[in-house]
């Protein structure tokens, strides 16, 4: 019920702030080199630190104490081999540090992302960037909000409902390189970015010349920034459920449109497809057939 969701939201928000304090502490330790080695997962750009693990353990433990009957999906638990299938049961879906590369480099865009899935649909999301003290929340049917520096929650998008852009050529678009740097993935990504940014009149075939491209380095924060209204669109290949679960709710509740892999239906509610492991993702905050066509082409 909505009052259950409100209780869950206060629990999740408090938990995210607690986790945020550990992330900040970790960042200080890493910058002063008193922390142990930075680990690599599948390659030298797929990073994990002791703080990813520490924060996930904290969050998992607190969830288990407060909601013992809920299921848990977490990035680090998954990496360690704990891969329970998604069921109809309420399930927390957590990325302890989204933007680990930023975290390691002290680029202040890293966050904890906590989503709650019920009946296989994301219903609640909390994303907290402790470096900027930005707290994003979203609850299904109840809107999404940003609280800055402990201030009052402001409804998203900031400044009122977004005016739809007539064309992709007027958009600010977030993209990410992700951690798959092998051919052909890297070439496909680079080609897509070229088409997004390139000038068709200057000889770039299929160029859309969007206003520009941005990378915040965190999938969750890219979603949050689309919800906020600072980005018109975010497109990435290679996300995982914990990268997007909370962001889906926050973006949708701000009026954003979220879609998943090319196999997913374009009904704005493809979250199950994303959460069950397909890794293509589009979030958009623009309207107009040019945007649609271009994105469809990129996903081919």
In the region spanning residues 201 to 230, those forming contacts with ligand IPD, defined by CB under 6 A, are 217-219
Say if residues 152 and 158 touch (Cβ distance below 8 Å).
Answer: no
Looking only at the bridges linking them, the beta strands covering 233-237 and 71-74 are unpaired
Smallest gap, in angstroms, from Cβ of residue 214 to ligand IPD?
12
Any residues with CB less than 8 A from the CB of 58 and at least 6 apart, and which? 18, 19, 22
Q: Does 77 bind ligand IPD (CB under 6 A)?
A: no
Give the angle 270-272-274 at the CA atoms, nearest 5°. 75
The greatest distance separating any two alpha carbons of the chain, rounded to the nearest whole angstrom, comes to: 60
Looking only at the bridges linking them, the beta strands covering 212-214 and 172-175 are parallel
State which of residues 239, 248, 254, 264 lies at the interface with ligand IPD (CB under 6 A). 239
232/243 with CB nearer ligand IPD: 243
Tokens of 101: 């590369």
Q: Does 139 bind ligand IPD (CB under 6 A)?
A: no
Smallest gap, in angstroms, from Cβ of residue 23 to ligand IPD?
12
**CA–CA distance, 34 with 115 (Å, rounded to integer):** 31
176/232 with CB nearer ligand IPD: 176
Q: Does 243 bind ligand IPD (CB under 6 A)?
A: yes
String of contacts with ligand IPD for each residue 157-196, x by CB under 6 A: -------------------x-x------------------
Q: Does 98 bind ligand IPD (CB under 6 A)?
A: yes
Q: Does 95 bind ligand IPD (CB under 6 A)?
A: yes
Looking only at the bridges linking them, the beta strands covering 134-139 and 47-48 are unpaired
Taking alpha carbons only, the member of 135, 96, 110 closest to residue 27 is 110
Which residues bind to ligand IPD, rule: CB under 6 A? Answer: 75, 95, 98-100, 176, 178, 217-219, 236, 238-240, 243
């Amino acid at each position: 019920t909505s009052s259950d969701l409100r209780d869950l939201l206060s629990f999740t928000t408090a938990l995210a702030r607690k986790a945020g304090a550990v992330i900040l502490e970790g960042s200080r330790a890493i910058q002063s080199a008193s922390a142990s080695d930075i680990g690599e997962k599948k390659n030298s750009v797929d990073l994990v630190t002791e703080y990813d693990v520490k924060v996930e353990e904290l969050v998992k433990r607190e969830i288990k104490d407060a909601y013992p009957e809920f299921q848990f999906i977490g990035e680090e638990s998954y990496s360690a081999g704990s891969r329970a299938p998604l069921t109809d049961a309420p399930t927390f879906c957590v990325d302890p540090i989204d933007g680990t590369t930023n975290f390691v480099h002290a680029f202040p865009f890293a966050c904890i992302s906590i989503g709650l899935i019920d009946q296989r649909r994301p219903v609640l999301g909390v994303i907290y960037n402790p470096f900027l003290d930005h707290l994003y929340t979203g609850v299904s049917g109840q809107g999404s909000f940003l609280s800055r520096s402990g201030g009052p929650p402001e409804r998203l998008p900031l400044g009122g409902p977004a005016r739809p852009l007539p064309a992709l050529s007027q958009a600010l678009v977030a993209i990410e390189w992700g951690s798959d740097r092998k051919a052909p993935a890297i070439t496909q990504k680079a080609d897509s970015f070229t088409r997004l940014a390139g000038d068709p009149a200057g000889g770039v075939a299929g160029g859309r010349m969007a206003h520009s491209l941005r990378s915040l380095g965190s999938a969750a924060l890219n979603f949050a920034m689309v919800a906020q209204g600072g980005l018109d669109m975010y497109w990435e290949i290679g996300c995982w459920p914990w990268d997007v679960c909370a962001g889906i709710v926050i973006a949708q509740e701000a009026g954003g449109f979220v879609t998943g892999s090319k196999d997913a239906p374009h009904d704005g509610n493809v979250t199950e497809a994303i959460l069950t492991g397909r890794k293509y993702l589009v979030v958009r905050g623009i309207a107009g057939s040019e945007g649609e066509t271009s994105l469809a082409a990129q996903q081919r």
